[in-house]
Structure 1
Amino acid sequence: MRKILVVGAGQAGLQLALGLQARGHDVTVMSERTADEIRGGPVMSTQCLFATALGHEAALGLDFWADQAPRAEGLGVSVAGPDGGRPIDWLGRLRGAAQSVDQRVKTAGWMETFAERGGTLVIHGAAASDLEWFSRAYDLVLVAAGRGEIGAMFRRDAARSPYAAPQRELAVAYVHGLGPRPEHPDVRAVRCNLVPDVGALFVIPALTTSGPCDILFWEARPGGPADVFRGVRDPAERLRLILDLMRTYVPWEYDRAGAVELTDAGGTLVGRLTPTVREPVAELPAGGLALGVADAVVANDPLTGQGANMAAKCAAVYLEAITGHGDRPFDRAWMESAFDRFWALAGPATKWTNTMLGPLPEHVLGLFGAAGTLQPVADRFANGFDDPADFEHWFYDPERASAFLAATGAAG
């Protein structure tokens, strides 16, 4: 039995802690807040897990809300035209349903489960100086918290981090009362609405503290016409601005939002994030080591919805790496090897996200257009959210894209 510390109580940290606990390890989790404080606090993210990540939760018996959260059976893409219409509009079918559970619900529930199963839960914010002592008291220190002094211990990997500043301004509202899309009234789907030179609006069916809901999520280009949220603190005003932008740029989504209201006073979030990959191992002043977990070391813009998915996948990779290591010491070589296994998944997700943040090449725009008439193209794009590595085979290279379209059209 190994003695392991997990700093941070989010998707990755708690999933990993619960998995290690189930395999007989002595696990301590450090969290800045209690379960009740998290459950009653503001929303923290726009998570939507696809089939692979959901499978990792299910394998550990942690899919507590699978029968309560709405099941998204598809992923739709609409591109706004200058006249308020949709020159591109299609719905891709997912091979396995996606689900979104408010992190307040999941984190609080998992924290309580961890404690009920005998885990040690410490409510205290960890500083870098604390980790020096922890590295001597535990066989392994895992850092799943990426903000502040703790996050700064992991050095930026410049070769894998092309951006030095946030690429989008983010605004989120959890709402009740959103109507269905009239063209697909019986289909729950994640909706991606792209507005050239403005940003994007995502609509995500979810489960929150007060039951099923929808998440309205704007990704605004900095300095553009949708960059209107900085300094706005009032939740009602944030929702009003989100709806105003919907009316102006994506009226087909606004048309079903006439009865929406915030799920609760904490149901909004605004912020910005600089996409950054960090070196996976932090060396402490006296020589101790800590291994970074998920977005503590790979933080992508949420444009492609990979944050929570990569967190679940990282937890699964590290769980197997720790379990398979036996009684040997967790040295730097092992830590780097464990991260390399994770990067095999996170690297393709990072490449795809960074591609989508930049100007889209002509052949990619052609793929978006073709998906409106070729269902296999729409389906393959939708399922890329679950497996971003698949984009390497048909998405980035114009010749491969052309060959894929030709083969798909011929088959159709």
Structure 2
Amino acid sequence: MSNRTAEEIRGGRVMSTQMQFDKALQHERDIEANFWESQAPKVAGLGVSVADPESVHGPGETQRAINWLGMLDRYAQSVDQRVKMAGWMETFAQRGGQLVIHGAAVSDLDFFAGRYDLVLVAAGKGELVSMFERDASRSPYDAPQRALAVSYVHGLGPRPETPDTESVRCNLVPGVGELFVMPCLTTSGRCDILFWEGIPGGPLDVFQGIKDPGEHLAKTLELMEEFTPWEYARATKVELTDANGTLSGRYAPTVRKPVGRLPGGGAVLGVADVVVANDPITGQGSNSASRCAAAYTAAILERGEEPFDEAWMQQTFDRFWDFVQHTTKWTNAMLAPPPEHILNLIGAAGELQPVADRFANGFADPSDFEEYFYEPEKTEAYLKSVTGG
């Protein structure tokens, strides 16, 4: 059940940024739903630039203190969710699924819970999400940590240092926010996404009142010229992919309890962002959603003829949480001002390619950060092991 048709989604506003790494892409290959893999840019690396705080004082004058590119073991890809969700809905119907176009309310779920073995809820916001209780023990933030502003563009030039390598760029501006630049496949072909994450109340938190897409892009470029002139230099000829190619907003990163209880006594199971909505600073949303779908599917198949009761729902979520807890921990850590040992690690990656590569591949498997990221002692030991010191 969807409140929009496939055509309405395809012709509507962009819904997100997304970058899927190999494990998430593999889930789509496994069920033969990877329709766009041959068309989408194959992202081979992930780069980090850090603006020198001392040089941030005027358009074009900001310098980079750190700049490196880590190489991924296997490529990543980004497909505009307008393309992907619309295509999947059509395929679902073609493969025999019943697709109902109707905005679901709690009363609908009450009805379905009595008629179906299992009801799953995948919603971004609104009445349905409010059925799921916030898990305070897993949600350290109760307010948005970034103001988000997205532009999908054509015409971005290649990166001068690595013109032949498709890569995601993470540009960190200390005390201000982050700019992410990523290749993508959209409704009109290959494009790039320019994505500002601004600290609330800071100089990047200026998109709330902007309704005009052209004005949104102009503000994006103006901020790039001031804070990331090395990216602005290749963006002087960009234009929006379409009139719906911008998005802005903010939300508090939240983990919710997986079982939603209905007025009639039934229960429903939350999926993906309903239960784990991390900030997009680490680009993990679509990866986590894919993992969630794969974990739930496996649990459904294993259940056989047994009922999908509340205990099973909790166990099924716990299985997903075993993986996604690492994503949540890392994402929340990246929202905070970096401690000295993390700055040292990011700096070392500029001198030591194995460190850059390992950090890049952590986006594909965030559990690896447990080994060397959070504790200064582990970071120091890891860097010594790489340098032989």
TM-score over 0.5 for the pair = yes
1:154, 1:279 within 8 Å by CA — same for their partners in 2?
Answer: yes
Matched position secondary structure for 1:286: coil
For 2:244, the equivalent position in structure 1 comes to 266
1:72 to 27, 38, 43: 43
In 2, the alpha carbon distance for the partners of 1:236 and 1:389 equals 40
Matched position secondary structure for 2:64: coil
For 1:31, the equivalent position in structure 2 comes to 2
Residue 314 of structure 2 corresponds to residue 336 of structure 1: yes
For 1:12, the equivalent position in structure 2 comes to none
Q: Give per-residue Cα distances to partners, 1:243-267, cap 9 Å, x unaligned.
A: 0000000000000011100000000
Query: Offset of 1:287 from its aligned partner?
Result: 1.6
For 1:87, the equivalent position in structure 2 comes to 65
Matched position secondary structure for 2:169: strand
For 2:168, the equivalent position in structure 1 comes to 190
For 1:303, the equivalent position in structure 2 comes to 281
Query: Offset of 1:160 from its aligned partner?
Result: 0.5
Matched position secondary structure for 1:120: coil
Matched residue type, 1:216? L
In 1, the alpha carbon distance for the partners of 2:125 and 2:102 equals 15
Matched residue type, 1:243? L
| Paired positions, count | 382
Residue 333 of structure 2 corresponds to residue 355 of structure 1: yes
For 2:145, the equivalent position in structure 1 comes to 167
Query: Offset of 1:149 from its aligned partner?
Result: 0.6
Matched position secondary structure for 1:31: coil
Matched residue type, 1:357? L
Matched position secondary structure for 2:90: helix
Q: Give per-residue Cα distances to partners, 1:43-102, cap 9 Å, x unaligned.
A: 000011001100100111111001100011000000001321111100000011000000
Matched position secondary structure for 1:149: coil
Matched position secondary structure for 2:242: coil
For 1:277, the equivalent position in structure 2 comes to 255
For 1:207, the equivalent position in structure 2 comes to 185
In 1, the alpha carbon distance for the partners of 2:263 and 2:208 equals 38
In 2, the alpha carbon distance for the partners of 1:259 and 1:68 equals 24
Matched position secondary structure for 1:87: strand
Query: Offset of 1:188 from its aligned partner?
Result: 0.5
Query: Offset of 1:286 from its aligned partner?
Result: 2.2
Residue 24 of structure 2 corresponds to residue 43 of structure 1: no
For 1:115, the equivalent position in structure 2 comes to 93
Matched position secondary structure for 1:336: helix
Residue 237 of structure 2 corresponds to residue 220 of structure 1: no
Matched residue type, 2:289? A
For 1:253, the equivalent position in structure 2 comes to 231
Matched position secondary structure for 2:337: coil
1:200, 1:219 within 8 Å by CA — same for their partners in 2?
Answer: yes
Matched position secondary structure for 2:294: helix
Query: Offset of 1:360 from its aligned partner?
Result: 1.0
Residue 116 of structure 2 corresponds to residue 151 of structure 1: no
In 2, the alpha carbon distance for the partners of 1:368 and 1:105 equals 35
In 1, the alpha carbon distance for the partners of 2:384 and 2:283 equals 29
1:50, 1:385 within 8 Å by CA — same for their partners in 2?
Answer: yes
In 1, the alpha carbon distance for the partners of 2:298 and 2:3 equals 27
Q: TM-score, normalised by structure 1?
A: 0.92
In 2, the alpha carbon distance for the partners of 1:170 and 1:153 equals 25
Query: Offset of 1:382 from its aligned partner?
Result: 0.4
Matched position secondary structure for 1:204: strand
Query: Offset of 1:345 from its aligned partner?
Result: 1.2
In 2, the alpha carbon distance for the partners of 1:147 and 1:31 equals 14
For 1:130, the equivalent position in structure 2 comes to 108
2:367 to 389, 395, 399: 389
Query: Offset of 1:231 from its aligned partner?
Result: 1.1
Query: Offset of 1:146 from its aligned partner?
Result: 3.5
Matched residue type, 1:66? E
1:146, 1:297 within 8 Å by CA — same for their partners in 2?
Answer: no
1:384, 1:390 within 8 Å by CA — same for their partners in 2?
Answer: yes
1:176, 1:263 within 8 Å by CA — same for their partners in 2?
Answer: yes
1:201, 1:219 within 8 Å by CA — same for their partners in 2?
Answer: yes
In 2, the alpha carbon distance for the partners of 1:250 and 1:89 equals 12
For 2:356, the equivalent position in structure 1 comes to 378
In 1, the alpha carbon distance for the partners of 2:70 and 2:185 equals 22
Matched residue type, 2:297? L
1:202, 1:216 within 8 Å by CA — same for their partners in 2?
Answer: yes
Structure 1: gaps spanning 5 or more residues: 1-29
Query: Offset of 1:396 from its aligned partner?
Result: 0.2
In 1, the alpha carbon distance for the partners of 2:269 and 2:337 equals 34
In 1, the alpha carbon distance for the partners of 2:384 and 2:165 equals 29
For 2:59, the equivalent position in structure 1 comes to none
Matched position secondary structure for 1:140: coil
2:220 to 214, 228, 242: 242
Query: Offset of 1:187 from its aligned partner?
Result: 0.5
> Cα RMSD over matched residues?
0.8
Matched position secondary structure for 1:123: coil
1:49, 1:98 within 8 Å by CA — same for their partners in 2?
Answer: yes
Matched residue type, 2:302? G
Residue 31 of structure 2 corresponds to residue 60 of structure 1: yes
Q: Give per-residue Cα distances to partners, 1:357-378, cap 9 Å, x unaligned.
A: 0111110110000000011110
